[in-house]
Structure 1
Amino acid sequence: MPRVQRSPVVLIGDVVSSRQSKDRRGLHRALEAALSDTNARVEHVEPLEITVGDEFQGIYPHLGAALDAALRTRLALRPEAESRYGLGRGTTTTLDKDRGIKDGPAWWAAREAIVEVERTAGRAALGHVHTAYRLAEGEDDDSGTALAVEAALHCQDHMVGSLSERSGRLLKGLLDGMTQRELAVAEDITPSAVSQRVRADGLAVIMRCHDLLKDLP
């Protein structure tokens, strides 16, 4: 079936506690590499680019692509740093193309979302929440998709935030299309050990959640 035409989705992200990093240059290089990897793998209207400090932004043709980009970028940055994401659906306007100044309801909604992420993560019980989605005023959501996505993101974020460094790498490899045997070689462990982590750490559940979310219009 053809994808339903909807307003684009803006993604705003930033690196958590980046000023506390002892290697700011190294962190900046890691961020550049993570964004480059995501841009090569996810369809976009405008690629993810660093704006000010350790904040970055991009525009996606549909919600699924923006969610895909957020998860991939978060995993690519771990364990060097954690990152958070605000997604907003609505119209966008470019005020100054040369200077990259954007405006419009989608940007306001994405900014509202990332502020909400920071506020929510400040609660100890919700510390792993790193992604939020908001609709701009006037955007229809008769089916309640926004609330369903928010619920799924809370669960996905908690699972990802609870992963060890190795399990995080395995999850990224699975997202990139690697087989469990290839991951075993890369990690210098047995295929059985990979399979056990996929089951015990819920990697298959995260993958299933991701597969469902990335097809959202």
Structure 2
Amino acid sequence: MAVAVIVDIVGSRRIADRTSAQRTIDGVLQRLTEDGPPVDVPLHPIVGDEMQGVYPHRDAALLATLLFQLALPDGIECRFGVGLGEAGEIPSASGGISEGTAWWAARAAIEDVEALAASAVASARTQVARWSSDAVSSGAASEDGDDLRVVNAYLLARDHLVAQMSERSRRLTYGRCVGATQRALAAAEGITQSAVSQALASSGANAVVEGFRLLRG
């Protein structure tokens, strides 16, 4: 099974300086190669405001999408569709074209995110879907007992916590996820260690960091 990830920029047409925003996102992608989980095909821009990548397992994709969200500055947001299925390439004169059921599921997942964000869950940014012979599913239990409803419920709660964070709190959360000490973060931010501790506690970051640790195993 492959895990395909599709990323697009929320409201990209409303960003005044799209070129500068893309440079910022490129920097985030570089940080993911340094700090992120194992990856088969690193996330990279495809066309317009979309990026794609392939991860070896679902949890790696969930870790990467969290770090991606935390690394973004205010004013730039992305949504993520994670698809479970098969991924391959179709040869063409201009190079391989990504194809397979994992991509179809990822596309369905990102459409689910858009629908959720447009209705009752404005903070929704990430969902997972699996391709089956019957349909794309984001809510039914799979044959191996893995219940995507549980995964997607976790993602809704995680996204909500991240959405409420300030840019500094996201930076601090990112740092804690990748193993930085509170003392090191305080020095980088020019604040006291006590202020770091308070920011992490008040923003819900500690729950996000613990969830990251559990996913990483």
Whether TM exceeds 0.5 here: the answer is yes
Aligned 8 A contact 1:13 1:85 in 2:
yes
Amino acid of the structure 2 residue aligned with 1:197:
A
Q: Partner of 1:180 in structure 2?
A: 182
- The CA distance in 2 between the partners of 1:100 and 1:201, in whole Å, is 43
Amino acid of the structure 2 residue aligned with 1:61:
P
Amino acid of the structure 1 residue aligned with 2:2:
P
Structure 2: runs of 5 or more not aligned: none
- The CA distance in 2 between the partners of 1:148 and 1:96, in whole Å, is 37
Q: Write out aligned runs for 1:59-208 (5 A).
A: 59-96=54-91, 98-123=94-119, 125-138=120-133, 140-208=142-210
- The offset of 1:188, in angstroms, is 1.0
The answer to whether the aligner puts 1:211 opposite 2:213 as a matched pair is yes
TM-score, normalising length: structure 1:
0.90
Structure 1: runs of 5 or more not aligned: 1-6
What is the Cα-based RMSD across aligned positions, in Å?
Answer: 1.6
Number of paired residues?
208
- The offset of 1:214, in angstroms, is 3.7
Aligned 8 A contact 2:109 2:128 in 1:
yes
Matched residue SS, 2:59:
helix
- The offset of 1:142, in angstroms, is 4.1
% identical equivalent positions: 39
Deviations along 1:148-207, one digit per CA (max 9) or x if unpaired, are 100100000000001011111111111222110111111111100111111111111011
Deviations along 1:3-32, one digit per CA (max 9) or x if unpaired, are xxxx12100001111111111111110111
- The offset of 1:92, in angstroms, is 1.1
- The CA distance in 2 between the partners of 1:177 and 1:171, in whole Å, is 10
Q: Partner of 1:4 in structure 2?
A: none
Q: Write out aligned runs for 1:14-53 (5 A).
A: 14-41=8-35, 42-53=37-48
